Amino acid sequence: MSQLPGVTEMRRMVDEFAPLMNADLPEVGAFHEAVHVREGVTADVIVPQGKGPHKGPHPVLVYLHGGGWVCGSAKSHRKLGYRFAEAGYLVFNVNYRLAPEHPFPTPFEDCLAAIRWAHREAARYGGDGARLAVGGDSAGANLSAAVAAALADDQERPRATLLLYGVFDFGMLRNALPPPELDTPAADAAREMVELMMGAYLGKARSDAALRDPQVSPLYAAAKLPPSHILVGGADPLAVQTEALVKALAAAGVPHEHFVDAGMPHGYVQMEHLPAARPAIERMVAFLRRNV
């Protein structure tokens, strides 16, 4: 499948901003770039220093980057992975295949395979595969929740999830768009961006049943999620997605934490110049320590 209009520009922008967001990496024990997971899929493996309170075997975090299912990579999210490794977690920062060249279900299946691979291979890098969490931001949060629910009855099931400003219900995303009669530059841009991502990942023909598939919209499998840490910025349009997931988790009795950082935009955890970024990372680390 060829790239949709706009995908090339999104990828170029991510590549341009990546050095800014990933400068001044914290110290870790070791870094293994682009380790083979399966055909077309790699992971950057970030190993903690392994001394003092961080002596192994280390708990494991499989991280799934954001980027609207069409862009982003382990490289664009490298510093965030390093932050978790700095805190003592063996991090597998996954390069799953991207839409539109690889639409659903390929990214979902790649992430599912990556968790199983990390569970199996963790000991090679000083990790404990039985103490595994999965997390991600934006599209990566969608994939994290979807694969965690899919693995609920498996031995590789994650003990916890980190869900950063994700899309959890594609139907809600579609229905929240400005109506066609609202003809403003902002409304047009919102419709174009959502259609770009949905069209790339799910294709043009999307039935209501397809949008309710838990592998696509994990809100419909909320009861199968492990303990979850959910965060979003108060200025993020996806805050409504987070609220819907929190309500579903509460109704199902799933342990969870929910944080809304006032005034923060989408993607703020990677923007360490913003005051809420590092405290958000610290809260996630504290949550992992209690649950993994």
Give the pLDDT confidence of 141-155 residue by residue, as tens digits.
Answer: 999 999 999 999 999
Mean pLDDT of 135-143: 98
The pairing of beta strand 228-233 with beta strand 127-137: unpaired
Q: Which two tokens stand for residue 174?
A: 């579609």
Confidence of residue 218 (pLDDT cuts 50, 70, 90): very high
Sign of the C-alpha dihedral computed for residues 66, 119, 100 and 72 taken in this order: positive
What pLDDT is recorded for position 206? Answer: 84
CATH code at 87? 3.40.50.1820
Confidence of residue 2 (pLDDT cuts 50, 70, 90): very low
Give the catalytic positions in this structure: 138, 236, 266
What pLDDT is recorded for position 3? Answer: 55
CA distances from 158 to 177, 181, 287 (A): 33, 44, 14
Mean pLDDT of 129-140: 98
For every residue of the chain, which 3-state class applies, written as one string?
CCCCCCHHHHHHHHHHHHHHHCCCCCCCCEEEEEEEEECCEEEEEEECCCCHHHCCCEEEEEEECCCCCCCCCCCCCHHHHHHHHHCCCEEEEEECCCCCCCCCCHHHHHHHHHHHHHHHHHHHHCEEEEEEEEEEECHHHHHHHHHHHHCCCCCCCCCEEEEECCCCCHHHHHHCCCCCCCCCHHHHHHHHHHHHHHHHHHCCCCCHHHHCCCCCCHHHHHHHCCCEEEEEECCCCCHHHHHHHHHHHHHHCCCEEEEEECCCCCCHHHCCCCCCHHHHHHHHHHHHHHHC
pTM of structure: 0.94
What pLDDT is recorded for position 179? Answer: 63
The pLDDT tens digits for 245-267 are: 999 999 999 999 999 999 999 99
Domain with 82, as residue range(s), is 7-291
Which tops the pLDDT comparison, 179 or 116? 116
Q: pLDDT at residue 5 above 60?
A: no
Q: CA angle, corner 48, sides to 47 and 52, nearest 5?
A: 150
User: Considering the chain, what percentage of its residues have pLDDT values greater than 70?
Assistant: 93
**Is position 2 within any domain?**
no
Say which amino acid occupies 107.
P
Say which amino acid occupies 22.
N
**Is position 1 within any domain?**
no
Q: Based on the structure, what is the number of domains in the chain?
A: 1
The pLDDT tens digits for 36-63 are: 999 999 999 999 998 766 678 999 999 9
Estimate the crossing angle of helix 139-150 against helix 106-121, to 10 degrees.
Answer: 70
The pLDDT tens digits for 14-37 are: 999 999 999 999 999 999 999 999
**Is position 184 within any domain?**
yes
What pLDDT is recorded for position 137? Answer: 98
β-bridge partners, 60: 90, 132
**Is position 199 within any domain?**
yes
Q: Are 189 and 164 in contact (CB under 8 A)?
A: no
Confidence of residue 4 (pLDDT cuts 50, 70, 90): low
How crowded is residue 241: how many other Cβ atoms within 10 Å of its Cβ? Answer: 26
Query: Cα 116 to the chain's mean position, in Å?
Result: 17
**Is position 144 within any domain?**
yes
Q: Among 146, 37, 23, 175, which Cα is nearest to 93's?
A: 37
